[in-house]
Amino acid sequence: MDKVMLRCFVSRCLLTNPVAGQTRKMSRGSLAGSQSSLAGKVAIVTASTDGIGLAAAQALGQRGAHVVVSSRRQSNVDKAVALLQSEKIQVTGTTCNVGKSEDRERLVNMTVEHCGGIDILVSNAAVNPFFGNIMDSTAAVWDKILDVNVKAAFLMTQLVVPHMEKRGGGSVVFVSSVAGYQPMQALGPYSVSKTALLGLTRALAPELAQSHIRVNCVAPGVIKTRFSQALWQDEDIVDEFKKQLSIKRVGEPEEIGGVIAFLCSKDASYITGETITVTGGMSCRL
């Protein structure tokens, strides 16, 4: 990613946060210690062998859910399954490219066959094959980004809903981004796709509420994952971001995983159609 473009985004596109001073670091284990239980629940988490997806699988599993993890590469699936098993989490793993209809169907069918049903879907899969001026983006770029980041999220939901209905309800969580509120320079098409997930959440929530299925969304800020390493590995860029934050640090995947698990729990039983921004206090709203 072009460093100049990133710095320009940081300095020009974010509103200055009025809260000054260093905020005390919050406990990473606070949400992990929640008394809410997901025992007996089955959760599909897409793109879940690394970063936020893996953290979500861990958080759900720690609360008792049987998690189904997936990735495009078998080696990544094997590593994630081994890690989760070492943490005494019930887990099943398989390869899946959510951009392919046959892979989506196989993931859902395998989950039902092995686990007996589906209660939770965390749609985390996303791609970003383009960096640069949005006017230089091609039709192929838009097709790839929208197919995976938006269309596949809806189509996965469409596949799991009948199985959730059989179990009396469920929970869907889409993983958007702070870029969905404040488009990032050099990441135009990706940012638009994340804005679309905010709308998809609001569109699905009232319809699926009739089936006792809640639909919510999480919009992370700058989180220390491989996907966003071009941001957090550059100290100059991180320093600029920190000026916009109340909590003066980059977020950790576990801090997103905990929020996702909360949204899937009974503690969030009266929440639907909402997007929770997890940004360390970054001021970004539509």
Amino acid at 136: D
Q: Decide yes or no: CATH 3.40.50.720 for domain 35-278.
A: yes
Question: Are 65 and 91 contacting, i.e. CB atoms less than 8 angstroms apart?
Answer: no
**Domain parsing of the chain, residue ranges:** 35-278
Q: What is the per-residue pLDDT for 23? A: 36
Percent of the chain with pLDDT over 90: 74
d(CA 41, CA 119): 6
pLDDT tens per residue, range 44-65: 999 999 999 999 999 999 999 9
Q: Which of 9, 190, 241, 262 is catalytic?
A: 190
Active site residue 181: no
For residue 234, is pLDDT > 80?
no
Q: How confident is the model at residue 3 (pLDDT cuts 50, 70, 90)?
A: low
The mean pLDDT value of the chain amounts to 88
For residue 33, is pLDDT > 70?
no
What average pLDDT does range 101-113 have in this prediction?
A: 98
Cα→Cα distances 108→70, 81, 121, 265, Å: 11, 18, 10, 21
Q: How confident is the model at residue 77 (pLDDT cuts 50, 70, 90)?
A: very high
Q: What is the per-residue pLDDT for 26? A: 38
| Higher-scoring residue by pLDDT: 72, 15 | 72
